[in-house]
Every structure is written in structure tokens, then in C-alpha cells.
Structure 1
Amino acid sequence: MDLKDHIREIPDFPKPGILFYDISTLLAHADAWQVTMGRMAKAARVYQPDVIAGVESRGFLVAAPLALKLGCGFIMVRKPGKLPGGTVTHTYQNEYREDTVEIQDNAVEPGQRVIVVDDLLATGGTMSASISLLRKVGADVCAAACIIELGFLKGRDAIDVPVHALMTYDS
């Protein structure tokens, strides 16, 4: 199955000049969604993760069912102020401004194997920051995964673990 057939392209969203790759149509197609999760699980399984970390917010849609399929835990990497209890934060510079990501302070045990998951990899800033944050608490980040990679933005160059993308757009 060609999963690109289930991705809707929306021009000029969220602002003029941006072509948005919408996974909503993929999520709504039961067979395509099953194939997506099967392919992601196959790529992730080789790393024997203990935890899948989903990056806010569409990354949650991918990471939670992937963790369930692999039989491992799921945690959320979120923007500040969204998680209850104590948190650990990491501030980084993205292409537009300074930004921060955080996890709950007890989300990951030192040494646990973690795969960071998002729906889309663009410039790699948020994914790289999420990896740094997880390492700050002692996680062994063994890979990153996404459904879509915008290859022309060279985001994987910012990431120092293997990156698995189910599909790549080169323009």
C-alpha cells in the first residue's frame, strides 16, 4: 500500500507559502492506519524499546498506539504547563524563536530504551530537543521515528540517532 495516497496536501496552511501534509485522512482510513502502525512497529521493534515518547501533539496519535502494539510504555513530551506534577524541561532555539519541551520528572527511569516519535519531521529542532531532554533524565534514546519526513529541510541532520520515516517528501 502506498501510504502517500492517504495524505492530504493543504496549500497555504497554516500560512501562505506552506504546504501542509495532513495525516487526518490517513488516520480515518482503517486499513491505511493499520498498515502505518504495522510498518512503524516493524522499524521500532529492532531497538527493543521500553518506552515510546510522543511529541506534542500529533506525535501522541502515533506514539500511543505504537507503544500499545509493541507492549511498552508511552510518555508525552509537551509544551510547558501541560503536565501535572514535577517536570523536567529543556529549552532550545528553533527556526523562529526559543522554545521549551518538558516531561514528567518520573516518566523515564535511567537506562530505559526510548524511541522518540512524531507525525512529521521537518527541521528536526523539536525532535532533537526531545532527545536532549530525555537524555537529561538518563534515558537511552535509541531511535526516532515519524510517518512523514520533509527531506528537503534536512531535519535528520540535527538528530544523532537512527531516524525512521515511512515516507519522504523531497519538495
Structure 2
Amino acid sequence: MHQLLPRDLRDAIRTIPDYPKPGVMFRDITTLLGDAGAFRRAVDELVHPYAGGKADKVAGIEARGFILGGAVAHQLSAGFVPIRKKGKLPHKTVRVSYLLEYGEDEIEMHADALVKGERVILVDDLIATGGTALAAVKLLRQIGAEVIAACFVIDLPELRGADKLRDAGLEVRTLMSFEGH
């Protein structure tokens, strides 16, 4: 499901040209997070379809996914599961590797963060190529979770990450899209 919100919420997103490398238009949600009304509205829009006990847990991808995912989990009265880069969690973990544009990376979560069969919503700020989100879905499914949706504030449709998640059998919810990278 893709939805375009009125201009005012889009205006809460700052665009930084040529970051982290030339030609990239970085979509920075820290300005949205700093605007109480925009932050509340974004969380409400992410939560709305899943109200009423449809999710047991919300998993957020480091780092902005922690902020959004924590707020979404609170609104849904669900638990929160942090998905982090390798080596950042103190207890026994499960891990998956995934390919980056140049090289490989790993993400992990605590092995006891979920009980098999729990319904989970994955949350992050932005979906681009989908590599990290697909790895997170693989990680959640590996531990036995039923991933019911993946939610993002921003979609970069030219990079087809949301399509890749849909191809993996997920419902994808985004609040807005920006053309370009």
C-alpha cells in the first residue's frame, strides 16, 4: 500500500544534496522528528492500519528505526525489538549477512527477542534498495516470527526496495515517496 500525504508532512523532511556522496539526495528525517506535530502525525499514520492488536512486536532497524519503531510499538501496545549492526548487542544473538553496494554487512538481534509465531511489524525511516530491510525480514523469519508488514516514512521508488519486499510476500506501507536517490 502506498500513500502520498499532504505537502505539510513532506515539508518536514530536509533534503541534503551530495550526502554521503556526490549525486545522492539524502532525505533527512531528523527535522520531522524535531517537529512534534509532524512526528506525531507520521507515527499515527504508520500505526493506523495495525491498531487493535494485530502485532505482538515491532522491530526497528538501527538507528532511526529505533525512534520510529519505539513510538509505533508504544501506540500499538506491542513490544519492541532492536535490530542492530553486528557486535552491538550484549546477549546471545542471531545474525544474517547481506550484500551492500560495495561489500557485505551483518545485522543481528537477541536470540530471545521473539517467540516463534509472534506477529511483527518492521519499521525504518526509509526504504531505498531494500538490502537491509530484506536482511531484517530474513532474520525475523529465521527466529520464527510472522512478519506482517514493513513500514517506512519514505520510499525511494527508483531503487525498487519496496517492490523487493512485496516480492518477498510482505505488505509494505510508506507515507511518502521522493524521486531520485
TM-score after normalising by structure 1? 0.96
Equivalent position of 2:16 in the other structure: 10
- Structure 2 gaps of 5+ residues are 1-5
Percent pairwise identity: 44
Equivalent position of 1:170 in the other structure: 179
- Structure 1 gaps of 5+ residues are none
- Compute the displacement of 1:46 (Å): 7.0
Equivalent position of 2:99 in the other structure: 93
Taking the TM superposition and a 5 Å limit, the aligned residue runs for 1:19-168 are: 19-45=25-51, 48-159=54-165, 160=168, 161-168=170-177
Determine which structure has greater relative contact order: mean sequence separation of CA pairs < 8 Å that are 6+ residues apart, divided by chain length.
Answer: 2
- Compute the displacement of 1:43 (Å): 2.9
Q: Distance in 2 between matches of 1:49 and 1:68?
A: 11
Q: Distance in 1 between matches of 2:141 and 2:50?
A: 19
Q: Distance in 2 between matches of 1:164 and 1:28?
A: 22
TM-score after normalising by structure 2? 0.91
- Residue 81 of structure 1 aligns to a residue in which SS? coil
Q: How many residues align?
A: 171
- Compute the displacement of 1:95 (Å): 2.4
Deviations 1:74-130, CA, capped at 9 Å, x for gaps: 010001110011000011223221111100010010000001110000000100000
